[in-house]
Amino acid sequence: MTDTTYMILYSANLAFIVTHLYGWLLKWFYRPEAYREHFHELFPAQRAVGIIYLLQIFELPYLLQIGDSDALLYVNAFSLLCFSIQMLIMCEGYFFPEIKHRLNGYWLFIPAILVLLPMFLQAVNLIDMPEGWRVWSVGAVSLLFVAYFSLSVRMALRIRNAVRRANEDQYADIAARCGFSSQASMTKAFKAQGKETPSTYRGM
């Protein structure tokens, strides 16, 4: 690898990580004044999105070892598994805010961590994996991804059903499921965001 290629790859990866850390700071701490009163009702998945940005920090091994095949294998596997999980958690937080214990979804990270940890240690040269470990790692990552993909399909079906119910249910029921104390409270928060009432928006 030439010095020019190395610098381009290093700069691109560094910019990628720093940009996502800035995105995490915005998602985690910034609250627009206009939406502050009903922020969590209007943006229920805000912190889950922030975690997606923060996860980029775990791609540092490739930044520190540009061009290393073990580091590249690790970051690709990490992206494939961890972002799939976090997207599931984010969708649940956005479309199903009435579920109060969304941290339950984070157990999905456990099998991914068990697979990724040896790959991470190999990438940073803390352990020396036996010959043939790459084949087993790719196989394990593939099986987990298939499992997470099936959960994504299930989530898509849940979202479809939720959208169908939202088009058919009464506004009071929708307000209760979204965590508002009353239909009037939901209407006020809705108008603060879009300057329209829910009934006007539904009729568009």
Cβ-contact 190, 35 below 8 angstroms: no
| pLDDT attached to residue 105 | 66
| pLDDT attached to residue 98 | 66
Percent of the chain surpassing pLDDT 70 = 90
What is the residue extent of each domain of the chain?
3-162, 169-204
Between 3 and 84, whose confidence is greater?
Answer: 84
Q: What is the pTM (predicted TM-score) of this model?
A: 0.71
Of the listed ranges 26-35, 40-49, 129-138, the least confidently predicted one is: 40-49
91-147 tens-digit pLDDT? 887 777 666 555 556 788 889 999 999 999 999 889 999 888 999 999 999 999 999
Mean residue pLDDT across the chain: 82
Closest listed residue to residue 63, CA positions, set 125, 127, 22, 15: 15
Band (pLDDT 50/70/90 cuts) for residue 37 is confident
Closest listed residue to residue 22, CA positions, set 56, 45, 67, 48: 56
Cβ-contact 35, 193 below 8 angstroms: yes
| pLDDT attached to residue 121 | 93
| pLDDT attached to residue 114 | 94
| pLDDT attached to residue 73 | 92
User: Inter-axis angle of helices 133-168 and 69-95, to 10 degrees?
Assistant: 20
Band (pLDDT 50/70/90 cuts) for residue 169 is low
Cβ-contact 60, 17 below 8 angstroms: yes
Residue 162 clears pLDDT 90, i.e. is over it: no
| pLDDT attached to residue 145 | 94
| pLDDT attached to residue 4 | 84
Closest listed residue to residue 175, CA positions, set 102, 101, 100, 97: 97
Between 128 and 184, whose confidence is greater?
Answer: 128
The per-residue DSSP string of the chain comes to --HHHHHHHHHHHHHHHHHHHHHHHHHHH---GGGGGGHHHH-TTHHHHHHHHHGGGGGHHHHHTTT-HHHHHHHHHHHHHHHHHHHHHHHHHHH-TT-S-GGGGGGGHHHHHHHHHHHHHHHTTSS-PPTTHHHHHHHHHHHHHHHHHHHHHHHHHHHHHHHHHHHHS-HHHHHHHTT-SSHHHHHHHHHHHHSS-HHHHHT-
Cβ-contact 87, 152 below 8 angstroms: yes
Would you call 4 exposed, middle or buried from its count of C-beta atoms within 10 A (0-12, 13-18, 19+)?
exposed
